[in-house]
């Protein structure tokens, strides 16, 4: 194309709002344009059109496409068809549009286009003109920091003041609808069975239940967080509470880009409760420092990206005070302060190689290794006589890590959104943990040692096909995943050792999952239908050391399950959507829930898994309404989850020994349970820089009565009563400007008192505050954040056990003040 022809094409496009009044000569000028115009830089739907001669079925080159809203008076996008009569309109915002196609020598044709809440691409297909043909490119702006849509809520955190100086985990604390507990437990609607994805894919840094790996990802490197409470069949069935998708920051400008940053500060400023008398006590004023960077190199044929972080800190991840009331009248108090010195390295990078106009090969890798030293001195005091009955101390050296590598091939067909993807990945996680245990008591003075080496290997291979239609899309795919976890357990028991004998020294858990899915979406002006079905065949085997005297056999089982999903959404009026959801999900126990080897950080509260644990299955129903008033958006969801074979930890006294007081904390399937509630989320943009968001989740958890059998350390049957409890969580966040370049953010979180398995948990809350300021035309950003200002987020748990009652108060590190400085490069 000559420069003159290109300019004529642009002038023709700018005048397209008057296209019906333009003569054939002008249409001929537009027809010489070969590429689409006026592409927007925001997220939206892509629309494909193939324009042909209605009689000869030959492509029409240079047909003019005009896209405008039904009630608009100017075009939202214009485009022209290429040499094949095709065109793609990109980034079309939600709404109803009129597509008009004109070409010299042909009659014009029009089509109505509906871009729904979940539309990412539409294929209008062939449009025959009696003398005309063409294709599209469209604009649409997504400027909201919060998007509340049927089945999925999206929160932009790139501009959040609180997020800039912390990790992804700390950023989640300020988001409505998400609960973050100790040790990286992320909850949705009261359940921690959450699947975490990064850029839509599983990651070595995340898991189910415990997502502490998120603490190693700087929030400054992410763009937004999406919450999907009712995932479609396209996603793996694991994770009954839903999916959280973390979308990383990316730039597409050609050349080098990125940022470097440094954050540091202190945590654990005050003690909620005085330490029990020991030489060491618990850490306070814990220092932290973390440099990080992100570098991108984008070219015409390839993109490269690399991100990294180094973290050095002291931390108090656990500081549990225990008061146990035994049936014989004794009261034992103790404190387990987990004083940690930690170093962590995170590096992730990759490349997108555009092999040609339609094929892309992406190669990515991630590496995360963390070393820490934990030390604790644990006194056990008989409270009625104020007598030291036992002094326990330990030193733990542990390395945990994850490494992953993935290869993804994607073929883009000529139609927008019409893709075929092949993906293979290998993920390896490991834990190398050594406990050196020391005891002084009237019974003995001795030492013990335990050493666990566990490797979790996951190898998924998948294929996904997406075919847009004129009013929706069809998604088809299949996945095979093999996971195996060999564990070595070595012990050096001392004199009168507290270590349970006869556990053996190894185990090996294996899982194979074969799955396939189909998902269909159809959107009309009156109704959106999404229906899918995922089929999964799962084979599990658990090989135990024959020397294990507690579990007499290896375990193996398999099951085939169908996991359907249905969503119906209708518009009740302007800005109002009403949706119905139904889906089924599964929660498979992971290695921590299955591990047969106890953890001895508190020798009188031994946490251990159950190798015979079975998956729990959840059926979910939801009715939700979304209302968009422009500056104010709100979503109300009424939901019910029915759970079969629910699993949880059970507290029970070990009565097989009279030498020590030992409470076992063991996983077990406990029958049926349910979770019913209502969740309200609202976001109010008062003015340009003043924003308020709030969420309220009120729910009832019901557990049916159950009789269970525990095999460790001896066979015993326990009866669990029926329980039912109503509770609620609430969040309120305010973001406001303080001058031209400074923003303030204040977040409050409150969890009401609630019943838990075998007990209850007291209410608690926290207030977080942050400031951020930009300098040098936004090239430099500085942030200051303070979490749990009033030090009120620690947990207080009451347990009604078998043979004892207990109060557990965990005043772990929740306070931290961090300063962050980031510079764009």
Confidence class of residue 7 from pLDDT cuts 50, 70 and 90? very low
Q: Give mean pLDDT, residues 606-632.
A: 92
Q: How confident is the model at residue 445 (pLDDT cuts 50, 70, 90)?
A: very high
Count CB neighbours of 374 within 10 A. 21
Position 106 scores a pLDDT of: 66
pLDDT-derived band at 748, boundaries 50, 70, 90: very high
Q: How far apart are CA 388 and CA 381, in angstroms?
A: 4
Residue with the bigger pLDDT between 22 and 149: it is 149
Give yes or no for residue 220 having a pLDDT over 90. Answer: no
Query: Under a CB-based contact definition with an 8 Å cutoff, are residues 169 and 785 in contact?
Result: no
Rounded Cα distance between 95 and 294, Å, is 36
The CB density around residue 299, as the number of other CB atoms within 10 Å, is: 10
Mean pLDDT of 795-809: 91
DSSP state of 802: B
Instruction: Give pLDDT, residue 378.
Output: 96
Model pLDDT, residue 212: 57
Strand order through the sheet with 109-115? 77-80, 64-69, 95-102, 109-115
Predicted confidence band of residue 26 (pLDDT cuts 50, 70, 90): very low
How far CA 732 is from CA of 145, 173, 749, 750, in Å, comes to 15, 11, 7, 9
| pLDDT value for 136 | 29
The span from the CA of 362 to the CA of 353, in Å, is 6
Note the pLDDT of residue 320: 95
pLDDT at 722 over 50: yes
Q: Does 12 have pLDDT greater than 70? A: no
Query: Mean pLDDT across the stretch 554-561?
Result: 94
**Direct distance between the N- and C-terminal alpha carbons of the chain, in angstroms, rounded to an integer:** 36
* Distance from the Cα of residue 453 to its chain's centroid: 27
* Least reliable range by pLDDT among 372-376, 731-735, 753-757, 758-762: 753-757
- The lowest-confidence range among 82-91, 355-364, 384-393 is 82-91
**Whether the Cβ atoms of residue 67 and residue 99 lie closer than 8 Å to each other:** yes
Mean pLDDT highest for which of 282-286, 736-740, 781-785? 282-286
Query: Span 216-236, mean pLDDT?
Result: 80
- Does 209 or 510 have the greater pLDDT score? 510
Q: Among 673, 726, 669, which residue's Cα sits nearest to residue 698? A: 726
Asked if the bond preceding 28 is cis, omega within 30° of 0, the reply is: no
- Top mean pLDDT of 75-79, 364-368, 375-379, 745-749 is at 375-379
pLDDT tier at 355, thresholds 50, 70, 90: very high
pLDDT of residue 19: 35
| Residue 591 token pair | 């290695």
Q: What is the CA radius of gyration of the chain?
A: 30
**473 vs 256: CA distance, rounded Å:** 36
pLDDT reported for residue 98: 80
The mean pLDDT of 237-266, rounded to a whole number, is 83
Main-chain dihedrals φ then ψ at residue 22, nearest 5 degrees: -90, 145
Give me the chain's average pLDDT, please.
85
User: pLDDT-derived band of residue 799, with 50, 70 and 90 as boundaries?
Assistant: very high
Per-residue confidence band for 380, with pLDDT thresholds at 50, 70 and 90 = very high
Tell me what pLDDT residue 72 has.
67
User: For the segment 253-267, what is each residue's pLDDT rounded down to a tens digit?
Assistant: 778 988 999 999 999
Taking each helix axis from N to C end, the angle separating 3-14 and 24-31, rounded to the nearest 10 degrees, works out to 130
Kindly state the average pLDDT of the residues 66-71: 78
CB 246 within 8 A of CB 222: yes
**pLDDT tens digits, 666-697:** 999 999 999 999 999 999 999 878 999 999 99
Query: Using 50, 70 and 90 to split pLDDT, how confident is the model at 416?
Result: confident
Task: Give the mean pLDDT of 639-666.
Answer: 89
3-state helix, strand, coil in the chain (%, to 5): 5, 60, 30
Distances (CA, A) of 765 to 728, 792, 794: 12, 6, 8
Residue 580 has which token pair? 């119905």
pLDDT of residue 158: 66
Question: Which string of DSSP letters, residue by residue, matches 272-340?
Answer: SSPPPS-SS----SEEEEEEEEEEEEE-SSEEEEEEEEEEEEEEEEEEEEEEEEETTS-EEEEEEEEEE
Average pLDDT over residues 337-365: 94
pLDDT score for 670: 94
Res 228: pLDDT: 87
Tell me how crowded residue 223 is: count the other CB atoms within 10 A of its CB.
14
Confidence band for 42, pLDDT divided at 50, 70 and 90? very low
Range in 24-33, 156-165, 249-258 with the lowest mean pLDDT: 24-33
Q: In this structure, what is the dihedral angle of CA atoms 494, 498, 502, 505, given to the nearest 10 degrees?
A: -70
What's the pLDDT tens digit per position in 164-208?
Answer: 556 777 778 778 888 787 666 788 887 878 888 877 777 655 544
Give me the pLDDT at residue 55, please: 66
pLDDT of residue 589: 87
Give the percent of the chain with pLDDT over 70.
Answer: 87
Backbone torsions φ then ψ of 226, nearest 5 degrees: -105, 135
> Mean per-residue pLDDT for 420-436?
94
User: Residue 105: what pLDDT?
Assistant: 61
Q: What pLDDT score was predicted for residue 29?
A: 31
pLDDT in tens, 454-505: 999 999 999 999 998 888 899 999 999 999 999 999 999 998 898 999 999 9
Distance of CA 508 to the CA centre of its chain: 28
């Amino acid at each position: 194309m000559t420069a003159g022809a290109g300019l004529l094409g642009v002038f023709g496009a700018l005048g397209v709002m008057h296209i019906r009044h333009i003569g054939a000569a002008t249409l001929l000028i537009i027809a010489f344009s070969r590429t689409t115009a006026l592409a927007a830089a925001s997220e939206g739907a892509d629309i494909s059109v193939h324009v042909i001669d209605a009689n000869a079925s030959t492509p029409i080159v240079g047909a003019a496409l005009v896209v405008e809203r039904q009630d608009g008076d100017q075009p939202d996008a214009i485009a022209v068809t290429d040499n094949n009569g095709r065109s793609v309109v990109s980034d079309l915002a939600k709404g109803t549009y009129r597509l008009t196609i004109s070409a010299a020598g042909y009659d014009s044709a029009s089509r109505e286009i509906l871009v729904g809440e979940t539309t990412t691409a539409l294929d209008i297909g062939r449009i025959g003109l009696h003398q005309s043909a063409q294709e599209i490119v469209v604009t649409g702006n997504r400027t909201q920091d919060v998007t509340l849509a049927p089945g999925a809520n999206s929160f932009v955190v790139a501009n959040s003041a609180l997020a800039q100086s912390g990790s992804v985990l700390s950023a989640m604390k300020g988001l409505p609808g998400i609960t973050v507990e100790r040790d990286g437990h992320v909850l949705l609607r009261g359940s921690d069975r959450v699947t975490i994805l990064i850029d839509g894919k599983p990651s070595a840094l995340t898991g189910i239940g415990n997502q502490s790996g998120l603490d190693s990802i700087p929030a400054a490197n992410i763009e937004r967080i999406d919450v999907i409470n009712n995932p479609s069949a396209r996603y793996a069935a694991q994770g009954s509470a839903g999916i959280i998708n973390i979308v990383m920051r990316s730039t597409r400008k050609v050349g080098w880009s990125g940022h470097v940053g440094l954050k540091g500060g202190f945590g654990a400023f005050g003690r909620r409760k005085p330490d029990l008398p020991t030489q060491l006590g618990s850490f306070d004023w814990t220092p932290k420092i973390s440099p990080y960077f992100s570098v991108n190199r984008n070219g015409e044929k390839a993109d490269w990206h690399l991100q990294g972080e180094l973290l050095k800190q002291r931390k108090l991840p656990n500081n549990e005070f225990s008061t146990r009331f035994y049936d014989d009248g004794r009261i034992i108090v103790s404190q387990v302060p987990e004083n940690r010195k930690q170093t962590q390295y995170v590096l992730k990078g990759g490349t997108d190689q555009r092999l040609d106009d339609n094929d892309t090969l992406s190669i990515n890798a991630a590496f995360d290794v963390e070393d820490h030293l934990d030390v604790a001195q644990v006194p056990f005091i008989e409270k009625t006589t104020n007598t030291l009955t036992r002094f326990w101390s330990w030193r733990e050296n542990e390395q945990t890590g994850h490494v992953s590598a993935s290869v993804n091939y994607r073929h883009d067909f000529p139609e927008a959104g019409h893709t075929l993807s092949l993906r293979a990945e290998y993920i390896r996680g490991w834990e190398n943990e050594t406990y050196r245990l020391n005891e002084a008591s009237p019974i003995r003075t001795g030492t013990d040692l335990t050493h666990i080496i566990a490797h979790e290997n996951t190898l998924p291979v998948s294929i996904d096909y997406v075919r847009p239609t004129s009013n929706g899309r069809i998604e088809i795919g299949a996945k095979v995943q093999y996971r195996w976890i060999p564990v070595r357990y070595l012990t050096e028991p001392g004199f009168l050792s507290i270590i349970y004998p006869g556990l053996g020294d190894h185990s090996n858990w294996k899982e194979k999952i074969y799955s396939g899915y189909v998902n269909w979406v159809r959107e009309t002006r009156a109704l959106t239908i999404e229906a899918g079905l995922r089929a999964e065949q799962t084979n599990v085997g658990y090989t135990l050391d024959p020397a294990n005297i507690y579990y007499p056999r290896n375990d193996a089982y398999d099951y085939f399950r169908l996991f359907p999903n249905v969503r119906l959404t209708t518009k009740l009026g302007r800005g109002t959507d009403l949706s119905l959801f139904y889906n089924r999900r599964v929660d498979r126990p992971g290695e921590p829930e299955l591990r047969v080897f106890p953890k001895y950080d508190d020798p009188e509260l031994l946490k251990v898994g159950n190798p015979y644990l079975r998956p729990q299955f959840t059926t979910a129903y939801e009715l939700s309404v979304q209302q968009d008033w422009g500056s104010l958006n709100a979503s109300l969801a009424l939901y019910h989850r029915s759970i079969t074979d629910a699993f949880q930890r059970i507290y029970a006294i070990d009565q097989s020994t009279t030498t020590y007081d030992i409470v076992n904390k063991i996983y077990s399937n406990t029958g049926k349970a349910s979770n019913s509630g209502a969740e309200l989320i609202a976001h109010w943009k008062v003015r340009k820089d003043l924003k308020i968001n709030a969420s309220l989740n009120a729910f009832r958890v019901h557990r049916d009565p159950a009789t269970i059998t525990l095999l460790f350390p001896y066979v015993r049957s326990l009866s669990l009563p029926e329980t039912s409890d109503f509770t609620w969580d609430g969040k309120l966040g305010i973001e406001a400007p303080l001058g031209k370049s400074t923003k303030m953010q204040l977040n409050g979180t409150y969890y009401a008192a609630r019943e838990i398995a075998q007990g209850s948990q007291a209410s608690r809350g926290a207030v977080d505050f942050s400031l951020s300021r930009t300098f040098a035309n936004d090239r430099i950003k500085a942030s200051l954040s303070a979490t749990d200002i009033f030090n009120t987020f620690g947990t207080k748990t009451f347990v009604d056990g078998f043979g004892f009652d207990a109060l557990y108060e965990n005043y772990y590190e929740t306070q931290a003040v961090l300063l962050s400085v980031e510079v764009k490069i």
